[in-house]
Amino acid sequence: MPSYETHEYDVVVVGAGGAGLRAAIEASARGARTALICKSLLGKAHTVMAEGGIAAALANVDTRDQWQVHFRDTIKGGKFLNQWRMAQLHAQEAAERVLELEQWGAVFDRTKDGRILQRNFGGHTYPRLAHVGDRTGLEMIRTLQDRGVHQGIDVHMECTIRRILKDGDRVGGCFGYHRETGRFVVFRAKAVVLATGGIGRCWAISSNSWEYTGDGHAMALWAGAELIDMEFVQFHPTGMVWPLSVQGTLITEGVRGEGGVLVNREGRRFMFERIPELYRGEFAETEEEATRWVQAVIAGRRPDARRPPELLTRDVVARAIRREVREGRGSPHGGVLLDIASRRTPEEIKRKLPSMYQQFKELADVDITREPMEVGPTCHYMMGGVRVDPDTQESTVRGLFAAGEVAGGLHGANRLGGNSLSDLLVFGRRAGQFAAESAQRNASVAQVDPDQIDQVVRESLAPFERTDGENPYALHEELRSTMHNLVGIVRTEEELHAALGKLQQFRQRSARIKVGGNIQYNPGWHLALDLKNMLDVSEAVTRAALQRKESRGAHTRDDFADSDARWAKLNLIVRQGTDGIEVSPRPLPEMPPELKKLLEEGEHG
């Protein structure tokens, strides 16, 4: 049996994006010996790709904003499936977290009176997103990284965690390997925080990087934790569609926040026809009104018009775009047109959307200050994740915490843009705090049964032992196109069943994967191991999608096209049963009357 190195910590944070960094900073500040483990180099995590901003009711631009409105927007955007307590904590604490970031050196764009500027975004009633041009995520991760440097956190870079180790029914640590050397490593820990992000690499057209293979989702499942809301996968309405090599690359919602409009091949702004019942009366109904709103926003006035329908929530916009394309009104390469050139001056565009400008100019030969962009939906974010206690972020396994995208519950059936960066900060901090406290309550480091380790070592090395077998890249491509075609934006019973069948075949084939080369920095091997996570996560999504026989938020069923009031009160819980993945409905926790009242006020106000 190959040897492995062992480390001992109070708290091990798996994942070094916004949530992981924030959790590690908090745990360390509270005196816990803390390790931060990242799959890539530090600072390269997916958070750097977040563009638009951090949602927080600072009320710097519109003084009417307050946490209650943010709470209401979040719940409404999530189509009432959110865990109310998470949505409440998130709305209440986001502003504090953003100001804290500023005290740590972040330089947000400014208002005229020198405060943090906020921009409009889909589903937010008021301009609410603190931002830095279109590179807010980079600002956030660098600020946290620089804060963390002096915090005494041990950072283990390019280290992939493969398994949560248990000590009886509580967490005992985790097992992984160093990508560079292939050497195995065991972290013994009193508490583990999962901050591994999402699962987007299971879909063919995706804005996510290679890292997003559902590691945390899968490991939590294997460790006996519950997942929630796994049927809700967000497709961002605006990804690049051309050229093929950049298909899926994200175009920030900030383009629409800055006044950009969506038009179809016929030049019509189709979003006016797609305002759903839930938002009836809240959006502009004529182009004239929408233009008036944009002009007021540009001038820094409080608008006397309603906002353009391009700023509807992502689920609505993505479906509308898909429909235009399906019905033959799409752009030449199968998207629709997003036009900012006719709305803002070239200087403004370059200033507020510099990365978008550069990205299109260099990769697509399109000058967005003169021409429209071709856009289409791209798999972007996982609403579902580890079911956690709203206050502590602890999962149903003692000592196992989760924060950020890997945790479920805050966003319900659909996440509002800007709510993920605030999610990372608010719940990253909470996870770090309560993981440190949990570790402090346990005097001794947990004992880990060596059999657990032997088993995962054997499993990890198996692909090297086969002399003949499948290519992991080819299998991954098949998985991605299967999920894209059968478990995409719009789903049917038949297709979901077909997907399950395919997944079953892939599972058998994945057991025959062969990798060449040696154990050092071998991406083929890494992918072969990640496929196990992706297959389980894909199955969890598919099974949950099959059970939810209605359309809600990001989950759209062609065979159950309407929302069903009975389903509005149920979350789907995914568990690892003895015969595989099990899905069961569970009633939502009852919302306290004062919060219910907030929602009702919104309905009539």
Partner 1 sequence: MAETMTLEIHRGDTAGGELVSYTVPSTPGMVVLDAVHFVQAHHAPDLAVRWNCKAGRCGSCGAEVNGKPRLMCMDRVDKYPAGEPITIRPMKTFPVIKDLVSDVSWNFEVNKKIPAFKPRNDRPPRFSQEEADRVQEFRKCIECFLCQNVCHVLRDHQRKEEFGGPRFFVRVAALEMHPLDDGNRTGLLKQDLGIGFCNITKCCTEVCPESIHITDNAIIPLKERVVDEFYDPIKKLFRILMPQSRPEAGD
Contacts with partner 1 by CB under 8 A lie at 40-46, 48-49, 99, 102-105, 107-110, 113-115, 117, 132-133, 135, 138-139, 142, 146-147, 149-150, 155, 157, 180, 209-211, 242-246, 249-250, 355, 358-359, 362-364, 471-474, 477, 515-518, 520-525
Q: Exposed (0-12), middle (13-18) or buried (19+): which is 60, by Cβ within 10 Å?
A: buried
In angstroms, what is the minimal distance from the CB of 110 to partner 1? 4
First to last CA, the chain: 67
In angstroms, what is the minimal distance from the CB of 105 to partner 1? 3
Is residue 356 within 8 Å of residue 255, measured between CB atoms? yes
Amino acid identity, residue 437?
E
Query: What are the phi and psi torsion angles at 129 (to 5°)?
Result: -95, 110
Amino acid identity, residue 7?
H
Q: Exposed (0-12), middle (13-18) or buried (19+): which is 112, by Cβ within 10 Å?
A: exposed
Please work out, in degrees rounded to the nearest 5, the angle formed at the alpha carbon of residue 243 by the alpha carbons of 239 and 247.
Answer: 35
Residue 261: strand, helix, or coil: strand
Please work out, in degrees rounded to the nearest 5, the angle formed at the alpha carbon of residue 540 by the alpha carbons of 192 and 80.
Answer: 85
Catalytic residue among 70, 72, 162, 256: 256
In angstroms, what is the minimal distance from the CB of 99 to partner 1? 8
Query: What are the phi and psi torsion angles at 281 (to 5°)?
Result: 90, -10
Residue 411 appears among annotated catalytic residues: no
Please work out, in degrees rounded to the nearest 5, the angle formed at the alpha carbon of residue 45 by the alpha carbons of 172 and 247.
Answer: 130
- Which of residues 195 and 230 has its CB atom nearest to partner 1 in the complex? 195
- Which of residues 1 and 149 has its CB atom nearest to partner 1 in the complex? 149
In angstroms, what is the minimal distance from the CB of 31 to partner 1? 19
- Which of residues 282 and 348 has its CB atom nearest to partner 1 in the complex? 348
> 114-146 in b/e burial notation, b at 16+ Cβ within 10 A?
eebbbbbbbbbbbbbbbbbbbbbbbbbbbbbbe
Is residue 438 within 8 Å of residue 191, measured between CB atoms? yes
Is residue 303 within 8 Å of residue 61, measured between CB atoms? no
- Which of residues 135 and 387 has its CB atom nearest to partner 1 in the complex? 135
In angstroms, what is the minimal distance from the CB of 109 to partner 1? 6
In angstroms, what is the minimal distance from the CB of 104 to partner 1? 6
Residue 236 appears among annotated catalytic residues: yes
What is the distance between the alpha carbons of residues 428 and 499, in angstroms, rounded to a whole number? 34
**105-to-40, 108, 123, 362, 413 alpha-carbon distances in Å:** 24, 9, 29, 31, 34
- Which of residues 170 and 351 has its CB atom nearest to partner 1 in the complex? 351
Is residue 158 within 8 Å of residue 43, measured between CB atoms? no
In angstroms, what is the minimal distance from the CB of 56 to partner 1? 15
Strand partners, 575: 582
- Which of residues 113 and 288 has its CB atom nearest to partner 1 in the complex? 113
- Which of residues 146 and 285 has its CB atom nearest to partner 1 in the complex? 146
- Which of residues 43 and 78 has its CB atom nearest to partner 1 in the complex? 43
Catalytic residue among 70, 128, 236, 557: 236
Cis peptide before 593 (omega within 30 of 0): no
In angstroms, what is the minimal distance from the CB of 476 to partner 1? 9
In this structure, the dihedral spanned by the alpha carbons of residues 394, 176, 148 and 42, taken in order and rounded to 10 degrees, is: -130
Residues marked as catalytic: 236, 256
